[in-house]
Amino acid sequence: MEREIKNNTLYFEGCSTTELAKKYGTPLYVMSETAIVEKCREIRETFLNKYERTRAAYASKAFLTLSMCKIIEREGLCMDVVSGGELYTAIKADFPAEKIEFNGNNKSIEELELAVDYNIGRIIVDGLDELSLIEEICKEKGKKINILYRVTPGVKSDSHDYIVTGKKDSKFGIPLDDEVIFPAIEQAINSAYVNFMGFHFHVGSQLHNNESHLKALDIVLKLIKDTKEKYNYTTPELNIGGGFGIRYTDDDNKKPYAYFLDPMMEKIEAFSNELNITRLEIVIEPGRSIVGEAGITLYTIGTIKDIKGIRKYVSVDGGMTDNIRPALYQAKYEGVIANKAEEAKTDMVTICGKCCESGDILIRDVKVASPERGDIFAIFSTGAYGYVMASNYNKNPLLATVLVKEGKSEIIVKRQTYDHMIANEVIPESLK
């Protein structure tokens, strides 16, 4: 367990959180290498080693730094990127090109060129005109690249609307109407510039129920069967996305990977036997589930505003700029005053950020020990979609990130300075 309490203080992966706050300043992201490695191990044991011809591509949008690329490579996973910036980060970390898969609903020509130049493993084509763009680039460069089609299976998963992606009314993926999907498949099969590997779907994120994965799988298996019958072409691969939920609060009934993957693999095996084909190579794209619970954020408490009979606002030195999720999709978190971890939770408070937005609330109604200016507040499970969604709103600098392991800490992202923030700004002659 990465979290424990000693001498009234919260420890995370053997490190005193108050010492971390003192050493690196706050607000601060703290990522447990051990917790990340443990998740990769679970994926290897319950999926990669259990089933032959499988891959796990870490969805780097959840948390990506150069160091994270190194951990993912060492743990034997592939990497899913969704932008030139993510791809560039992977390239800069010398991540093996053939293990990179490129998603995204509006890849630019420059991004596609970077992917082709670097000879990445797969491009997951997400729009009808994208294949033609790729063909042109490959023709010019004399290359051939592996592609999959991301399709929208038309299932609605049980999560916040902003993180549901598999329904038909979605900006992601190619719809499965016959007149849309089959010409696209034909183009890919006949293309001299791509190897058509198969289909990809991703139904949503933070899911605790396997129903939408299974429904989507049925729909896409039918598409694979139809493709075989229509074109005598067996797609060798299938990417079933990510979306496996984590625990933020007691409301989250987190399930192991096997809960999602075993029944899917069973269906896929049966399908392959029925069609008398070699079992498809199966790829998953977990993001949040690898890093979410591996991260905590440390803040220093400042102003406390007690509106008698209404609410006690406890302000911290970060907020929606380092964690947009509560403001964006009413995400819920738990936290504790790290230097009062053993004290009775006497006060019902609302933890708010320092940004000029009333919606800048990190946790609404949480019971904590009596808060005072200077206390350190720790919020749990902030490892996914925090650092990567951070902003400079109100010109608040981006946080530092430290990696902790067995009582040791190392900086992996330096704190942004005010000078960094204005580095790209210029005053034109007309204003001087």
Ligand X SMILES: Cc1ncc(COP(=O)(O)O)c(C=O)c1O
> Is 208 near ligand X (CB under 6 A)?
no
Distance CA 178, CA 230 (A): 12
Pick out residues in 27-66 that bind ligand X (CB under 6 A). 59, 62
Q: CB of 252: closest distance to ligand X in angstroms?
A: 13
Q: What is the DSSP letter of 407?
A: T
Pick out residues in 312-371 that bind ligand X (CB under 6 A). none
Q: Is the peptide bond before 371 cis (omega within 30 degrees of 0)?
A: no
> Is 289 near ligand X (CB under 6 A)?
yes
Pick out residues in 5-24 that bind ligand X (CB under 6 A). none
Beta-bridge partner residues of 244? 207
Distance CA 78, CA 101 (A): 8
69 is catalytic: no
Distance CA 146, CA 237 (A): 11
Residue from 33, 101, 135, 285 touching ligand X (CB under 6 A): that is 285
Residue from 153, 242, 318, 371 touching ligand X (CB under 6 A): that is 242
Residue 207, phi then psi, degrees to nearest 5: -100, 140
Binding flags for ligand X, 85-104, as an x/- string (CB under 6 A): ------------------x-
Distance CA 418, CA 216 (A): 47
Nearer to ligand X, 32 or 157 (CB): 157
Q: CB of 11: closest distance to ligand X in angstroms?
A: 27
Question: Among the candidate windows 37-45, 71-79, 235-243, 390-398, which touches ligand X by CB under 6 A?
Answer: 235-243
Pick out residues in 163-202 that bind ligand X (CB under 6 A). 165, 202
Nearer to ligand X, 206 or 212 (CB): 206
Distance CA 220, CA 215 (A): 9
Query: Cα(first)–Cα(last) distance of the chain, in Å?
Result: 57
Distance CA 69, CA 90 (A): 6
Beta-bridge partner residues of 363? 351
Tell me which residues touch ligand X (CB under 6 A): 59, 62, 80, 103, 165, 202, 205-206, 241-244, 285-289
Q: Which residues are catalytic?
A: 356
